[in-house]
Chains A and B, each alone.
Chain A
Amino acid sequence: MRYPGGTTPDDTDSLILPIMSHPIYLDHAATTPVLPEVLEAMEPFFGSRFGNPSSTHRWGREARVALDEARSRLARCMGANVDEVCFTSGGTEGDNLAVLGPWRAHGDTARRAIVTTPVEHKAVLEAVHQAAREGAEERLLRMTHDGVVDMDSADRLVDGDVAIMTVMWVNNEIGVMQPVPALAELAHARGVTFHTDAVQAFGKVTIDAGAVPFDLLTMSGHKIGAPKGIGAIYIRRGTRLAPLFHGGSQDRGRRPGTENVAAAVGLARAAELAVAHQEEEWARLEALRDRLEGAILARISDAVIHGRGAPRAPHVLNVSVPGVDSESLLMALDLAGVACSGGSACQSGSTAPSHVLLAIGTRPDLAASAIRMSLGSLSNDACIDRVAELFPALVAKARGTALV
Chain B
Amino acid sequence: MAGERVVVAMSGGVDSSVAAAMLVQQGYDVVGVTMNLFCHGDDIPDRPCCSLESTNDARRVCEQLGVPHYVLNLQSAFGRDVVRDFVDEYSRGRTPIPCVRCNTFTKFRDLLHKADGIDARWIATGHYARVVGGELRRGVDAGKDQTYFLWGLQRAVLSRLILPVGHLTKVETRAQAHALGLEVVAEKAESQDICFVPDGDHAKVIARELGEDAPSLARGPIVTLDGRVIGEHDGHARYTIGQRRGLPGGSTEPLFVVAIRPREREVVVGPREALLGRGVIARGVNWLVDPLSAGERVQLRVRHRQAPVWAELLRSELDEIELALDEPVSAITPGQSMVLYDGERVLGGGFIEQAVGQRMALPMAVAV
Do these two chains really belong together in a complex? yes
Q: Which residues of A contact B (CB under 8 A)?
A: 324-325, 327-332, 334-335, 346-352, 397-398, 400-401, 403
B183 nearest CB across to chain A (Å)? 22
User: Is there an interface contact between A332 and B55, defined as CB atoms closer than 8 Å?
Assistant: no
A336 nearest CB across to chain B (Å)? 9
| Contact A346 to B114, CB < 8 A, known contacts A334-B68, A397-B119 | no
| B116 on interface, CB distance cutoff 8 Å | yes
User: Is there an interface contact between B36 and A350, defined as CB atoms closer than 8 Å?
Assistant: yes
B304 nearest CB across to chain A (Å)? 29
User: Is there an interface contact between B59 and A327, defined as CB atoms closer than 8 Å?
Assistant: no
Additional A-B contact list (10), CB under 8 Å, known A346-B40, A350-B71: A325-B114, A327-B70, A331-B70, A331-B114, A331-B117, A334-B70, A335-B31, A335-B68, A347-B40, A403-B113
Q: Is the interface of B mostly helix, strand, loop or mixed?
A: mixed
Contacts of A331 in B (CB 8 A): 31, 33, 68, 70, 114, 117-118
Most chain A CB neighbours (cut-off 10 Å) among B40, B74, B114:
B114
B74 nearest CB across to chain A (Å)? 8
Docked complex Cα distance between A349 and B110 (Å): 18
Question: Closest 7 interchain pairs by CB?
Answer: A328-B117, A350-B73, A401-B117, A350-B71, A349-B71, A350-B36, A398-B117
Of B31, B34, B59, B117, the contact of A325 (CB 8 Å cutoff)? B117
Chain B stretch 33-51: residues in CB contact (< 8 A) with chain A: 33-34, 36, 40
Contacts of B195 in A (CB 8 A): none
User: Is there an interface contact between B59 and A349, defined as CB atoms closer than 8 Å?
Assistant: yes
Docked complex Cα distance between A349 and B70 (Å): 8
Most chain B CB neighbours (cut-off 10 Å) among A324, A346, A350, A352:
A350
A382 nearest CB across to chain B (Å)? 24
User: Is there an interface contact between B114 and A347, defined as CB atoms closer than 8 Å?
Assistant: no
User: Is there an interface contact between A327 and B72, defined as CB atoms closer than 8 Å?
Assistant: yes
B67-84 CB mask vs A (1 if < 8 Å, else 0) is 010111111010000000
User: Is there an interface contact between A397 and B117, defined as CB atoms closer than 8 Å?
Assistant: yes
Most chain A CB neighbours (cut-off 10 Å) among B73, B114, B116:
B73
| Contact A349 to B118, CB < 8 A, known contacts A401-B113, A403-B110, A403-B113 | no
| B140 on interface, CB distance cutoff 8 Å | no
User: Is there an interface contact between B117 and A350, defined as CB atoms closer than 8 Å?
Assistant: no
Contacts of B52 in A (CB 8 A): 347-348
Contacts of A334 in B (CB 8 A): 68, 70
User: Is there an interface contact between A328 and B118, defined as CB atoms closer than 8 Å?
Assistant: yes
Docked complex Cα distance between A397 and B31 (Å): 17
Contacts of A332 in B (CB 8 A): 117-119
User: Is there an interface contact between B71 and A328, defined as CB atoms closer than 8 Å?
Assistant: no
Contacts of B68 in A (CB 8 A): 331, 334-335
A338 nearest CB across to chain B (Å)? 13
Docked complex Cα distance between A164 and B55 (Å): 40
Docked complex Cα distance between A349 and B114 (Å): 17
B10-29 CB mask vs A (1 if < 8 Å, else 0) is 00000000000000000000
Docked complex Cα distance between A156 and B31 (Å): 52
Show 22 residue pairs from A and B whose CB-CB distance is below 8 angstroms, ordered by the A residue: A324-B117, A327-B70, A328-B113, A328-B118, A331-B33, A331-B70, A331-B114, A331-B117, A331-B118, A335-B68, A335-B118, A348-B34, A348-B36, A348-B40, A349-B55, A350-B36, A351-B73, A401-B113, A401-B114, A403-B74, A403-B77, A403-B113
| Contact A352 to B117, CB < 8 A, known contacts A335-B31, A335-B68, A347-B52 | no
| Contact A401 to B77, CB < 8 A, known contacts A331-B31, A349-B59 | no
Closest chain B residue to A332, Cβ basis: B118
Q: Which residues of B contact A (CB under 8 A)?
A: 31, 33-34, 36, 40, 52, 55, 59, 68, 70-75, 77, 110, 113-114, 116-119
| Contact A348 to B55, CB < 8 A, known contacts A331-B31, A401-B113, A403-B113 | yes
| Contact A327 to B114, CB < 8 A, known contacts A347-B52, A350-B72, A352-B73 | yes
B86 nearest CB across to chain A (Å)? 19
Contacts of A349 in B (CB 8 A): 55, 59, 70-71
Closest chain A residue to B34, Cβ basis: A348
Closest chain B residue to A345, Cβ basis: B71
Contacts of A401 in B (CB 8 A): 113-114, 116-117
Contacts of B31 in A (CB 8 A): 331, 335
Docked complex Cα distance between A243 and B95 (Å): 54
User: Is there an interface contact between B73 and A327, defined as CB atoms closer than 8 Å?
Assistant: yes
Contacts of A400 in B (CB 8 A): 116
Closest chain B residue to A352, Cβ basis: B73
Contacts of B75 in A (CB 8 A): 352
Of A329, A348, A398, the contact of B71 (CB 8 Å cutoff)? A348
User: Is there an interface contact between B59 and A328, defined as CB atoms closer than 8 Å?
Assistant: no
Closest chain B residue to A397, Cβ basis: B119
Closest chain B residue to A395, Cβ basis: B117
A251 nearest CB across to chain B (Å)? 34
User: Is there an interface contact between B117 and A329, defined as CB atoms closer than 8 Å?
Assistant: yes
A388 nearest CB across to chain B (Å)? 20
B55 nearest CB across to chain A (Å)? 5
| Contact A328 to B73, CB < 8 A, known contacts A335-B68, A347-B52 | no
Contacts of A352 in B (CB 8 A): 73, 75
Docked complex Cα distance between A352 and B113 (Å): 18
B106 nearest CB across to chain A (Å)? 10
Docked complex Cα distance between A348 and B54 (Å): 10
Docked complex Cα distance between A328 and B31 (Å): 12
Docked complex Cα distance between A327 and B74 (Å): 10
Closest chain A residue to B69, Cβ basis: A349
B46 nearest CB across to chain A (Å)? 17
Contacts of B34 in A (CB 8 A): 348
